[in-house]
Every structure is written in structure tokens, then in C-alpha cells.
Structure 1
Amino acid sequence: MNKIQILRKISQTFFFIRALLTGFYLSIIGFVWKFIFGYGNFSNFRIIAIILAIIGGRIFCGWMCPFGFLFDLMYKLRVKIFKLKKLPNVPEYIHNKLKYFKYFVLIVVIVLGYTFGFKVFTDLYLLSYSLLILFLVLGFIYPRFFCRYVCPVGALLSIFSKFSIFKLILNKDKCVGCKLCERHCPMQIKIVDVDKINQIECVRCFECMSACRKESLSFSYKK
């Protein structure tokens, strides 16, 4: 584990513990509602996450989100148990369609919130914990399943990360085409055989950079 991964783990652990200490009850629905509509302290938190997205992409998802922390633990547990050398992938034709579903979820959440009032999300704890269990299981099978396909918070930040100043960049002169980076990407992003890396799906976990033995990947400013 290199320095950047150590720093990320420290950051994730800190924000997860902070969330627990400030009354965070692992309610996916409650978390989504509070973040999207800026309830209480989440108003400032949302502003910070959006600013970070504009600067460097979905940093919140990879470094600060308490659910991202849990979903990382699940897929890495599977890697360790089964000694996987390559992360499991959803079939490409399904993945390329399913990754847009989170934007539909974002629209539904916003419409429900403004149509029926924010209280529509407050009494769904049983459903919320059931969903958490479901997504933990799916996250064990396919890395960050919720983050890839369902999370409306990720969808919101993806919109802003489209304009991110700092980007993940592949130096094709150094790259040997081994695709070791893609094998370790929990978001199933194509890196090698593309003109541009999909920045809006990237959660800035930098697993690809850690896996690359040629140091052909960097996170820097590029027009």
C-alpha cells in the first residue's frame, strides 16, 4: 500500500467515525435525503463536496463518503477471501447502460422531495436498512455496485466533476497496455484503449495509479 492509499484509508476512516459520532445511523435513504436537500449540517457538507468535485472530481465519493468506506471493505473482503487478481466486472453492454440509472434515481428523489415534502424520506428506516444489506451483498459481488449504478449523490457530484480542473491522465508513451490499472478499478472504467478517461465515473480512489508499475497514470491539471 503506497502513501496515497494510506492517506485515503485514514481519510475514509476519519469521516466514517465522525459520521457515527454525529448521529449517522447508516440509513442510505436518510443520507441521500439530507445530502441532496442540504438538511442541517449537510448543507455545508454538500457545498464542500461540490467544490471538491469541480476542483478534482468525485473526491467525496472516494475519500469521505461513509457508505463508500463500507462498500470498499466489502469488495476488498471478497478479493482477500478468494485471492482475486482481477476485480469482477458487470458485462460491458449492461454496465454501459446501467451506469446512467443513478441519474434517474436523482431525478426521482428530487421530484418526490419537492412534491410530497422532505418528510417522505424520514419514516423509511426499515426499507433503508434493507437496502443497505442488499447493496452490501451486491457490493461484495461487484465492487461499489451502489456507487456505480444507484447513488444519486454520486450522480449529482458527477455532473459537477465533468468540469473538474484536475483529472486522471494516462501517459501513453509510458503505458505498455497491460491493463493492470483496469483490473483494479472498482468503478469498471476503461483507461487504456480510450481517447479520454471517463472522469465523471471516477471516484478518485487511485487504485489504478497504485496498480500501475510503469507510473503511466497521474492526477494533474490538463485542458
Structure 2
Amino acid sequence: MNKIQILRKISQTLFFVRALIVTGFYLSIVGFIKRFIIGDRILATIITKIIAIVLAFIAGRVFCGWMCPFGFLFNLVYELRVKLFKLKKLPTVDEKIHNKLIYFKYVVLILVVLAYLSGVKISGYTLAYLLLALFLVLGFIYPMFFCRYVCPVGSLLSIFARFSIFKLKLDENKCVGCRLCERKCPMQIKITEKIDQMECIRCFECMSVCKKGALSFSAFTKNTKKE
């Protein structure tokens, strides 16, 4: 585990503990989405939202990979499967299905906004924990399932991330095509073909496993092509 991974683990843990304390140890996906997308008057929530959006403009979906309490949980469950089954390659969804399913979270975002505008209220402890259990199971099978395909917070931040200043960059002059980065990417991004900055959660797992130093994170850059 390199320094970036250690820092990320520390950041995720601290924000997860903070979330537990703020919510009184009641982790509700529905409540989290409502507070972030719809908003409330709690100063801490407003500040968190502003920070997440500003970070998305600057460096992409940093909130998803470093600060989100649910991202922390889903990260733990897929890492648990990797260790239990000693996986060398992360499980993937069929590419054709994956390429369509990543847009579903935008549908969820629209539905959340429409539900709010129409006055529909969704709440309840049972629903909250059933949803959490469901996505933990799905996240155990397919890494970061909720973050990839369902989370409306992620979809909102990905819109800003499209215009981020700092981007993940592939130097094709150094890349040897081993695709080790892709096998370790929890978001199933085809890194050696095209880095989808909107889907990338800046976990930097790809950079940590690249033995050729072909991946970097810097401002206003494009992939370096082989001549």
C-alpha cells in the first residue's frame, strides 16, 4: 500500500466516523441522497456539498473516492471479496450492459428531483437498511455497484467532473498494454482506451499498480499518444 492509498484510507475512515456521529449512527442512503441533492439548512451539510462540488470542478469525483461514507462501505465489501477469493482481477459486468447501465444513475437523479418537486416523501428505517443491505451485497459481487450505476450524488458530481482541471492521464509511450490498471479499477473504466473522467472516482488504484509509471494526475492534460 503506497502513500496515496494510505492517505485515502485515513480520509475515508475519518469521514465515515464523522457521518456516523452526525447522523446518530443511522446510515440512510435515502437520507444521504435527500440531504445532498435536495438540501437542508444544516450548516455542515451545506459546507460538505459546496466542498464536494468545488472539488469536482478542480479534481473530479474526489468526494466519491475519498469522502463519501457509503463509498467507504462499498469499498470495504469489494476488497473483502478480493481477499477472500484471492482475486487477481476485479469482477466485471458485461461491457455492453455496463456501457448502458452507467447512465441509469442520471435517471435516478432526475427521479429524485421530480419526487421532491411533486412532494413525494420516502423515508423509514426499514427501507433505509434494506437498501443498504441490497447494495452491500451487490457491491460484494460487482465492485462499487451503487456508485457506478445508481448513486444520484455521483451522477451530479460527474457532470462537474467532466470539466475538472486536474485529470487522470495515460502516457501511451510508457504504457505496455498489460491492462493491470483496468483489472484493478473498481469503476470498470477502460483506462488504456479512453479514461472516462466522469466515471473515475480518483481512488488511484490504477496508478498504484502501474509498474511503468504510465499514469499521472495533472492539470489540463490529454493522453500522450505513441508516435
Instruction: Say yes or no: TM over 0.5.
Output: yes
The percentage of aligned residue pairs carrying the same residue is: 67
Read off the aligned partner of 2:95 and give its amino acid letter. Answer: E
Is residue 196 of structure 2 the alignment partner of residue 201 of structure 1?
A: no
Structure 1: where are the runs of 5+ without partners? none
SS of 1:220's partner is strand
**Could you say which residue in structure 2 is the equivalent of 1:167?**
167
Secondary structure at 2:212 match in 1: coil
Unaligned runs of 5+ in 2: 222-227
Whether the 8 Å CA contact 1:148–1:201 is kept in 2: the answer is: yes
Is the CA contact (8 Å cut-off) linking 1:37 and 1:43 kept in structure 2?
no
Deviation by residue 1:37-78 (Cα, 9 ceiling, x = unmatched):
222231221111000000000000000000000000000000
2:32 and 2:220 map into 1 onto residues whose CA distance is 33
Give the equivalent residue in structure 2 for 1:29: 30
**Whole-angstrom CA distance in 2 between matches of 1:77 and 1:210:** 19
Aligned to 2:187: 187
Cα deviation, residue 127, structure 1: 1.2
Tell me the amino acid that sits aligned with residue 147 of structure 2: C
In 2, the alpha carbon distance for the partners of 1:193 and 1:113 equals: 39
Letter in 2 for 1:68: G
Normalising by structure 1, report the TM-score: 0.96
- Give the stretch that moved more between structures: 24-33 or 152-161: 24-33
- Equivalent residue in structure 1 for 2:107, among 98, 104, 112: 104
Contact 1:29 1:124 in 2 (8 A): no
Name 1:215's counterpart in structure 2.
Answer: 213
Aligned to 2:45: 42
Q: Which deviations, in whole Å up to 9, do the C-alpha atoms of 1:88-146 show, x marking residues without a partner?
A: 000000000000000000000001012106xx13x332112101000000000000000
CA distance in 1, matches of 2:114, 2:22: 28
Which stretch shifts more, 134-143 or 185-194?
185-194
One-letter amino acid of the counterpart of residue 91, structure 2 = P
Alpha-carbon shift at residue 19 of structure 1 (Å): 0.8
Q: CA deviation at 1:183?
A: 0.3
AA aligned opposite 2:71: G
Give the TM-score taking structure 2 as reference length.
Answer: 0.94
Moved more, 165-174 or 37-46: 37-46
* Mapped contact 1:28–1:131 kept (Cα < 8 A): yes
User: CA-atom RMSD, angstroms?
Assistant: 1.0
Return 203-212 or 16-25, whichever deviates more: 16-25
2:116 corresponds, among 97, 113, 118, to 113
Return structure 1 stretches of 4+ with deviation > 2 angstroms. Answer: none
Q: Equivalences for 1:31-70 in 2 at 5 Å?
A: 31-39=32-40, 40=42, 41-70=44-73
Alignment size in residue pairs: 218
For 2:181, the aligned partner's letter is: C
Is 1:124–2:124 an aligned residue pair? yes
- Three-state SS of the structure 1 residue aligned to 2:118 is helix
User: 1:84 maps to which residue?
Assistant: 87
For residues 44 and 10 of structure 1, the distance between their equivalents in structure 2, rounded to whole angstroms, comes to 20
